[in-house]
Amino acid sequence: MRHHIQLKMLIAHGIVLLLSLILLGLYYWKFEIADFATEWEKLRHQFQQQDRQFINEINEFRGKPDETRTFLYSYAQDHSMRISMYDREKGKSITADSLSHNIFSVTLQDDQYTDQKHRYDFTFTHPVTWDMLRPVQSSSHILAVAVLLFCLSTVFLGIYSRRLAMLPLVTFYKKHSDLIKSDFPPYPNEMEWEKIYSSLLKANETLSLEKHRQSAAMAAISHDLKTPLTSIKGYMERLMRGRVQSEEKRQEYYQIIYRKATEIEKLTQDLTEYVQNANHPLLVRKRVPLHSFVRSIASEYEEELPTFSAKLSCSCSIQGNPILFVDEQRIRRVFANVIHNSLNHSLTQCEVHISFRVYTENDMAIFELEDNGPGVPEEELQKIFEPFYRVDKARSKVKNGSGLGLAICKGMVEKQDGRIHAYLPEKGGLGIKIALPLQAAE
């Protein structure tokens, strides 16, 4: 489409330029050339008469070479011209040159002159000035006509270019209006508009989905903020009005208020982290030995998980000394989110078992974390990475999670050229598989 419009614009410019030149040529031929030819003939006739007058006057000096020469120089100087007198007998010439510097001149060979001993030929060169050619002075009219034609051509091209450039937009607007008014509008007839139509459908679907996600996100944020704030407000009102007499009860209320405030703080931190991650964060990537990284993760959570009635079992089958090139702090944050997600969604009455398996495959380090929790329905496996998405609360002991933990993980991993997805292990629960690229060891 773009090249088609450019070709039309180029053809239009060429046509307008050609028409302008034709019109300018017709004007000049009609009003200038004829007058110029007539004026030129008059000027030649005037010069010829002047030359004959000179011949008549120089005849008075027959047989007087010095006086002839003096008259020749004097006449040439008075008329600012060049006169050459050629002696045929001696083969010599005398030239009196007083020709001024003009735009151009005209040379005429006129009558022969014979005295008692010699025979002479005369050549006259006359200056031609602007004042002598009236039609040339009217070139200003030609310039005015050229400027007028240029202005008209510019206006025409401007109008045509605007219509040509707006045509796809106008057509696009009409098709878009039809699409909005109808659930199943017909395809355009032109192949090119079918592509635009298809792109527009996809854009509308994406826009609709994004609007739905934004609405769901706003509703989730509003709900997650409103719930703890309502509790905080209720407990604070009771404390402020002195309705709680028991110190033990007041301490309980304080703890509840603190816990609800912590939930709000956690939500705002998750929101901030999610936004920063979505807005292309500055990654501090460095070379990290895979063996030491796995040992560090395993050691950290083998010590921490027992406090949550959970345990971690690690299995590592890595050959050689592979190297990760990652932002280590952000990747540690990914594992923290995944492990705490398993803790938060495990069954209350059961001890949580998390298995951590590491191996390499096709220049990728593969991390598999599996828990023994209730898992999620298979159709919801990929949805759990969407921001603010929550599984059925009956499957979780956490009632007010932000729904951003796994979405943050997905963003962090993919921005470091990795992959992350969920699966259902054969023994039940939920599995998260993370793949990060390896670099060759130095």
User: 189 in a domain, yes or no?
Assistant: no
Instruction: Give me the pLDDT at residue 395, please.
Output: 46
256 and 384 together in one domain:
no
158-167, 308-317, 353-362, 392-401: range with lowest mean pLDDT: 392-401
- Dihedral angle at the C-alpha atoms of 180, 184, 188, 192, nearest 10 degrees? 80
Instruction: Give me the pLDDT at residue 169, please.
Output: 60
Could you give the CA distance from residue 432 to residue 434 in angstroms, rounded to a whole number?
A: 7
231 and 359 together in one domain:
no
Instruction: Give me the pLDDT at residue 317, please.
Output: 87
Q: Where residue 234 sits, what CATH number does that domain have?
A: 1.10.287.130
User: 304 in a domain, yes or no?
Assistant: yes
372 and 234 together in one domain:
no
204 versus 23: the higher-pLDDT residue is 204
pLDDT band at 137 (very low <50, low <70, confident <90, very high): very low
**Mean pLDDT, residues 31-49 taken together:** 74
Nearest to 426 by CA among 372, 380, 381: 372
pLDDT band at 220 (very low <50, low <70, confident <90, very high): low
pLDDT band at 162 (very low <50, low <70, confident <90, very high): low
User: 201 in a domain, yes or no?
Assistant: yes
pLDDT band at 167 (very low <50, low <70, confident <90, very high): low
Per-residue model confidence as pLDDT tens digits over 92-134:
888 888 776 655 566 666 555 555 566 778 888 888 776 665 5
Instruction: Give me the pLDDT at residue 293, please.
Output: 92
435 versus 306: the higher-pLDDT residue is 435
Instruction: Give me the pLDDT at residue 43, please.
Output: 80
Q: To the nearest whole percent, how much of the chain has pLDDT over 90?
A: 10
238-252, 307-321, 393-407: range with lowest mean pLDDT: 393-407
318 and 426 together in one domain:
yes
Where among 278, 298, 330 does a domain terminate? Answer: 278
261 and 291 together in one domain:
no
Q: Please tell me which of 70-79, 161-170, 396-405, 426-435 the model is most confident about, judged by mean pLDDT.
A: 426-435
Instruction: Give me the pLDDT at residue 394, please.
Output: 46
Total domains, the chain = 3
- For residue 425, give its domain range: 286-439
44 and 101 together in one domain:
yes
Given 3-state DSSP classes, what are the helix, strand and coil percentages for the chain, each rounded to the nearest 5?
A: 60, 20, 25
Q: Please tell me which of 175-179, 204-208, 225-229, 365-369 the model is most confident about, judged by mean pLDDT.
A: 365-369
Q: Where residue 401 sits, what CATH number does that domain have?
A: 3.30.565.10
Q: Where residue 39 sits, what CATH number does that domain have?
A: 3.30.450
Could you give the CA distance from residue 114 to residue 312 in angstroms, rounded to a whole number?
A: 135
333 and 423 together in one domain:
yes
132 and 8 together in one domain:
yes
What mean pLDDT, rounded, does the chain reach?
A: 75
